């Protein structure tokens, strides 16, 4: 009897959330933009990064006391915190997909009527508040009478903004500017269709279109001591839970589990998710005040056409030369649909 009572005590273990596997995005690297982005990112890197990676990545070791400091603030930028050109994109949403759901998401992407959606977006030009319901009110599947010769989405990428208070931030980004006013409502409409089909991870925050230029989650610090046992119980090994937002508010992130913010060490793939958003938990912070002033009007790329929407795998892949040297870093696109060019 006693054994039976003992077994019935306690709360059932919390069900782990499935890891995030893919994201929906607007890739910013095109044939026309790539040379501009390569030159501008290299210029930025030369100006703001420190040559002493050990100093730039120094992170104090956390103790057992939860009040102990586990971060440091530096005015310089670690070279690895600057995102590679091939990884630049604007995230519309993140997803946790098995193979069947992935195929369904690909099918939805292929059947979006891009021309019609852009026409609908044009009617909402320069509106300050856009209802996602209104943006998705028209049929958004392929139709034979879609207006032909839809003008392309031509954008500029300029300036630098902090995701957090400039004096203590881990993310710097640049926001795309579309002179026709169609880009944002168009992206909202695409996002809404994927939400309706239950592909996107839940996120109630407003979409924030941006290209992450700096994310210190990718800068490695000193090896940290393991956290105390009570804190380890709050952690998960999933690479897809936490406060993403990239890449949306920061953007399209999953930020509904505050306990995930306790993590103190992550793999680069985890950084995709947890290194973003207003509650990003990167242990390395930078004082970006002077950097933001210097690059306030900096041109990353201008007057280039967005050529596709893509579903990508989480985790940028390193591309190496025959000698084994890393020459690029890109996300794997598992599906894409062309935009008017």
173 membership: H or E segment, kind and range: strand 171-178
The residues near 258 (Cβ < 8 Å, ≥ 6 apart) are 279
The tokens describing 256, both together, are 């509904």
Stretch among 24-38, 54-68, 69-83, 238-252 having the lowest mean pLDDT: 238-252
Contact predicate 63/264, CB 8 Å: no
Q: Which residues contact 58 (CB under 8 A, 6 or more apart)?
A: 72, 74, 221, 222
Confidence tier at 210 by pLDDT (50, 70, 90): very high
Distance between CA atoms of residues 274 and 58, nearest Å:
20
pLDDT surpassing 90 at residue 214? yes
How much is the pLDDT for 124?
A: 75
Instruction: Label residue 18 by pLDDT band (50, 70, 90).
Output: confident
How much of the chain, in percent, has pLDDT values that exceed 70? Answer: 65
In the three-class reduction of DSSP (H, G, I as helix; E, B as strand; rest coil), residue 160 is classed as: strand
**According to the model, what pLDDT value does residue 8 have?**
55
Q: What is the mean pLDDT of residues 135-141?
A: 54
What string of DSSP letters covers 60-116? PPP-SSTTS---EEESSB-GGGBPPGGG-EEEEEEE---HHHHHHHHHHHHTB-HHH
What pLDDT is stored for residue 64 in this prediction?
Answer: 45
Per residue in 140-187, pLDDT (tens digit) is 555 444 445 789 999 999 999 999 999 999 999 999 999 999 999 999
Give the H/E segment covering residue 337. strand 333-338
Residues 98-114 have a mean pLDDT of 98
213/173 Cα distance (integer angstroms): 5
pLDDT of residue 72: 72
Rounded to 5°, angle at Cα 245 from 244 and 247: 115
pLDDT band at 75 (very low <50, low <70, confident <90, very high): confident
Choice between 307 and 265, residue whose per-residue pLDDT is larger: 307
Q: Which residue reads 């025959």 in tokens? A: 322
The chain-wide mean pLDDT, for the chain, equals 78
Please tell me the distance from the alpha carbon of residue 171 to that of residue 212, in angstroms, as a whole number: 7
> 19-125+143-338: CATH homologous superfamily?
Cyclic phosphodiesterase (3.90.1140.10)
């Amino acid at each position: 009897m006693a054994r039976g009572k003992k077994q019935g005590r306690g709360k059932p273990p919390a069900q782990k959330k499935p890891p995030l596997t893919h994201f929906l995005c607007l890739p910013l690297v095109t044939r026309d933009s790539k040379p501009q982005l390569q030159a501008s990112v290299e210029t930025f890197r030369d100006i703001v990064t420190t040559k002493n990676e050990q100093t730039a990545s120094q992170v104090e070791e956390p103790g057992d006391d939860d009040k102990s400091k586990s971060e440091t603030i530096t005015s310089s930028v670690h070279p690895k915190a600057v995102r590679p050109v091939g990884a630049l994109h604007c995230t519309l949403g993140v997803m946790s997909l098995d193979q069947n759901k992935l195929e369904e998401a690909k099918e939805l992407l292929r059947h979006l009527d891009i021309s019609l959606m852009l026409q609908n977006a044009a009617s909402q030009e320069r509106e300050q508040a856009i209802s996602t319901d209104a943006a998705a009110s028209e049929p958004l599947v392929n139709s034979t009478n879609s207006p032909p010769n839809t003008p392309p989405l031509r954008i500029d990428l300029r300036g630098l903004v902090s995701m957090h208070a400039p004096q203590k931030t881990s993310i710097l980004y640049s926001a795309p500017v579309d002179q026709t006013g169609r880009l944002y409502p168009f992206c909202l409409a695409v996002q809404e269709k994927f939400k309706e089909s239950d592909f996107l991870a839940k996120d109630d925050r407003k979409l924030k279109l941006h290209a992450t230029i700096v994310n210190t989650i990718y800068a490695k610090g000193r090896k940290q001591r393991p956290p105390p046992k009570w804190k380890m119980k709050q952690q998960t090994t999933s690479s897809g839970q936490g406060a993403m937002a990239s890449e949306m508010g920061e953007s399209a992130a999953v930020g509904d589990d505050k306990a995930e913010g306790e993590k103190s060490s992550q793999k680069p793939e985890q950084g995709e998710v947890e290194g973003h958003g207003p509650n990003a938990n990167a242990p390395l912070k930078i004082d970006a005040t002077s950097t933001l002033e210097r690059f306030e009007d900096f041109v990353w790329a201008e007057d280039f056409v967005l050529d596709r929407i893509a579903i990508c795998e989480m985790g940028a892949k390193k591309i190496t030369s025959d000698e084994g040297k890393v020459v690029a870093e890109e996300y794997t696109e598992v599906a894409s649909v062309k935009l008017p060019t």
